[in-house]
């Protein structure tokens, strides 16, 4: 089985890669900063995505996991010269790349294949001072559900996994950008029924399940310690 994991060089994506490889899966990592000499892939760059598809030509892709993501910190009224740029980057990586990479690799995917979109619990229940990120992750949830509907006639399943807080470089960058009040709310794990962060491997377990359970499609699975309940 061949799997493609975008954002597979770090954090949750790297844990997905480790789990899949441990199960004997051939995994192609598509990341801006890949490890072990793999070619870099920028999921927001059409030529880079086309090059990825060309490198995979002739192979059957059974699983595509969209884990590449970017964070944007700021409320709608936060003074910032780069707010519009942050909005565009959030939508380019977190939403449009799910669309373009899926479209590029679908010709390599047949009946029984699966796609998993990694969105965020923030896309189900907003976090303060992260408006562009929240909006992009809500859009990713909707896109995954639409893709499940559209790809069902081809026998391709699509699910969305929404992580809560997991200690990764991205989560640390988000925390640095917040105001003290918002930072304290996150640090206190407000709203988390399980009073701790998730681990990258707990997320990877759910992502692999979403990709391999043949009766799961169109599902939005919050793996977030109960945060989205409130």
Residues that bind ligand NAD (CB under 6 A): 6-7, 9-13, 31-33, 41-44, 67-70, 93, 118, 120, 163, 165-166, 168-171
Q: Which residues pair with 4 in a beta bridge?
A: 28, 64
Q: What is the dihedral of CA 31, 211, 190, 73, to 10 degrees?
A: 30
Q: Which residues pair with 163 in a beta bridge?
A: 223
The least distance separating ligand NAD from the CB of residue 28, rounded to whole angstroms, comes to 13
Q: Which is nearer to ligand NAD, 152 or 187 (CB)?
A: 187
The least distance separating ligand NAD from the CB of residue 112, rounded to whole angstroms, comes to 25
* Three-class SS state of 34: coil
Which position has the token pair 């936060």? 78
Q: Please provide residue 100's backbone torsions phi and psi, each rounded to the nearest 5 degrees.
A: -70, -40
Which position has the token pair 């990877």? 204
**Cβ(183)–Cβ(28) below 8 Å:** no
Name the active-site residue from 62, 133, 145, 220: 133
Q: Which is nearer to ligand NAD, 40 or 155 (CB)?
A: 40
The least distance separating ligand NAD from the CB of residue 216, rounded to whole angstroms, comes to 19
Rounded Cα–Cα distance for residues 199 and 15 (Å): 9
Q: Which is nearer to ligand NAD, 72 or 108 (CB)?
A: 72
Q: Which is nearer to ligand NAD, 112 or 169 (CB)?
A: 169
Measured CA to CA in angstroms, residue 113 lies from 104, 122, 216 at distances of 15, 27, 12
User: Is 192 a catalytic site residue?
Assistant: no
CB atoms within 10 A of CB 211: 24
Write the DSSP symbol of residue 164: -
The least distance separating ligand NAD from the CB of residue 162, rounded to whole angstroms, comes to 7
Q: Which is nearer to ligand NAD, 114 or 165 (CB)?
A: 165
The least distance separating ligand NAD from the CB of residue 149, rounded to whole angstroms, comes to 22
Which residues belong to the active site? 133
């Amino acid at each position: 089985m061949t799997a493609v994991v975008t954002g597979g060089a770090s954090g949750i994506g790297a844990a997905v890669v480790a789990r899949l490889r441990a199960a004997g899966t051939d995994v192609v990592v598509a990341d801006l900063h890949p490890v072990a000499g793999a070619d870099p892939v920028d999921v927001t760059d059409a030529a880079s995505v086309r090059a990825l598809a060309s490198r995979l030509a002739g192979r059957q892709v059974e699983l595509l996991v969209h884990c590449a993501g970017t964070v944007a910190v700021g409320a709608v009224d936060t003074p910032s010269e780069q707010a519009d740029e942050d909005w565009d980057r959030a939508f380019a990586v977190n939403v449009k790349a799910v669309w373009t990479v899926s479209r590029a690799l679908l010709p390599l995917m047949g009946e029984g294949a699966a796609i998993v979109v990694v969105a965020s619990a923030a896309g189900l229940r907003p976090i303060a001072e992260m408006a562009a990120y929240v909006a992009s992750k809500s859009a990713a949830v909707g896109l995954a559900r639409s893709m499940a509907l559209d790809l069902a006639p081809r026998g391709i399943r699509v699910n969305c996994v929404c992580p809560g807080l997991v200690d990764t470089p991205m989560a640390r960058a988000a925390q640095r950008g917040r105001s003290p009040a918002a930072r304290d709310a996150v640090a206190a794990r407000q709203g988390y029924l399980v009073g701790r962060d998730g681990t990258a491997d707990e997320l990877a377990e759910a992502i692999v399940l979403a990709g391999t359970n043949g009766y799961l499609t169109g599902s939005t699975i919050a793996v977030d310690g109960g945060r989205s309940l409130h």
